[in-house]
């Protein structure tokens, strides 16, 4: 149980990727940038033509903007069965760090990494003279800014993709229901407002009961809750997130159902408990994953008891 918690904690803390060795990322390259600051592009002001992406989200965004610029991508189970990416070389697989030899062999003029997962690789690539930088998406605005930045780097028009993002959001107010997102049972872990999930709830006008809470959780943007705290909040809607590792680990909801407090919650009594995928709600993952999560939020937060 403790091992499962550690794996989940590492997955969430990186925001873009699963990683088994977060402690290896403490030394950050001095030239690193976020999605909302200027990119290095130190060699020239020419547009990038050969890009290697080290996160699934930046992979998808670059592909949507101009797929011809992608020469190498990270391995991700989000793309394993996606024919769009089958012919593009992988420079990493699963939780393994990026393979620097593979990256260099692809002769990229820009490498885009994920803060937390890619720091050591980006630092080394910069030492080798390859333009590279880190990105991090923690809210909707940073997703839009990242899209604009990547479009600028490859001389593409971001507007069609930005317009698509807007279709994901509700076009009318939701019921403004008190909502609690649960991503772990041991301990009980929930996103506050300083996370992708928390910001997404705000976009859907849901009253995140953990929005203003702060705590000692090692994961930024998340707080640990006691059973008593959940009972006190007594949300109208509960969203339980399936762990990213999948398989037999998809038992978070089942474990909650075994707890005595669970049946006392109004969300449980009113059958307003929903399960979501990790990608899209907790980790943006990809554009399709975000769209799927938004569609499910529209359905579940607009749904009335009479419709259930």
DSSP 142-170: HHHHHHHHHHHHTT---HHHHHHHHHHS-
On average, the pLDDT of the chain sits at 83
Q: What is the DSSP string of 101-131?
A: HHHHHT--SEEEEETTTSHHHHHHHHHTT--
pLDDT band at 244 (very low <50, low <70, confident <90, very high): confident
* Residue 223: strand, helix, or coil: strand
Q: Output the pLDDT for position 95.
A: 75
Span 225-242, pLDDT tens digits: 999 999 999 999 999 999
Of 41-50, 62-71, 99-108, least confident by mean pLDDT is: 41-50
Reported pTM: 0.83
pLDDT band at 23 (very low <50, low <70, confident <90, very high): very low
Q: Output the pLDDT for position 200.
A: 96
Answer whether 48's CB lies under 8 Å from 106's CB. Answer: no
Q: How many Cα atoms occupy the beta-carbon half-sphere of 33 within 13 Å?
A: 19
Average pLDDT for 31-48? 51
DSSP H or E stretch at residue 29: none
Nearest to 134 by CA among 101, 98, 86, 159: 98
Average pLDDT for 154-159? 97
List domains and CATH numbers for the chain: 17-167 (3.40.50.1980), 178-299 (3.40.50.1980)
Q: C-alpha 214: how far from its chain's center? A: 21
Span 72-108, pLDDT tens digits: 999 888 998 899 999 999 998 877 889 999 999 999 9
φ/ψ (deg, to 5) at 198: -65, -40
Q: Which residues contact 40 (CB under 8 A, 6 or more apart)?
A: 31, 33, 126, 131, 132, 133
Provide the token pair at 206.
């849901």
* Measured distance CA(240)–CA(250) in Å, rounded: 10
Average pLDDT for 251-270? 92
Average pLDDT for 129-152? 96
């Amino acid at each position: 149980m403790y091992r499962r918690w550690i794996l989940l904690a590492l997955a969430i803390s990186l925001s873009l990727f699963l990683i088994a060795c977060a402690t290896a990322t403490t030394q950050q390259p001095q030239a690193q940038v976020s999605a909302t600051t200027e990119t290095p592009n130190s060699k020239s002001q020419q547009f990038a033509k050969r890009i290697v992406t080290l996160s699934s989200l930046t992979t998808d965004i670059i592909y949507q903007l101009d797929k011809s610029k992608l020469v190498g991508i990270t391995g991700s189970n989000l793309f394993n069965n996606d024919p769009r990416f089958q012919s593009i070389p992988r420079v990493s697989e699963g939780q393994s760090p990026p393979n620097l030899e593979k990256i260099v062999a692809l002769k990229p003029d820009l490498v885009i990494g994920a803060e937390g997962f890619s720091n050591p690789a980006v630092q080394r690539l910069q030492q080798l003279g390859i333009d590279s930088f880190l990105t991090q998406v923690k809210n909707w605005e940073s997703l839009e800014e990242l899209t604009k930045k990547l479009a600028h780097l490859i001389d593409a028009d971001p507007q069609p993709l930005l317009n698509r993002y807007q279709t994901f959001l509700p076009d009318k107010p939701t019921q403004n229901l008190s909502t609690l997102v649960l991503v772990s049972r041991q301990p009980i872990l929930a996103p506050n407002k300083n996370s992708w999930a928390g910001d997404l709830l705000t976009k859907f006008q849901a009253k995140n009961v953990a929005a203003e809470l702060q705590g000692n959780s090692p994961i930024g943007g998340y707080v640990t809750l006691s059973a008593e705290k959940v009972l006190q909040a007594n949300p109208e809607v509960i969203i339980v997130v399936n762990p990213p590792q999948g398989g037999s680990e998809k038992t978070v909801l089942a474990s909650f159902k075994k707890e005595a407090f669970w049946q006392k919650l109004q969300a449980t009594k009113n059958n307003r408990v929903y399960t979501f995928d990790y990608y899209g709600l907790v980790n943006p993952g990809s554009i399709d994953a975000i769209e799927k999560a938004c569609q499910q939020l529209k359905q579940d937060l607009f749904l009335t008891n009479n419709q259930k």
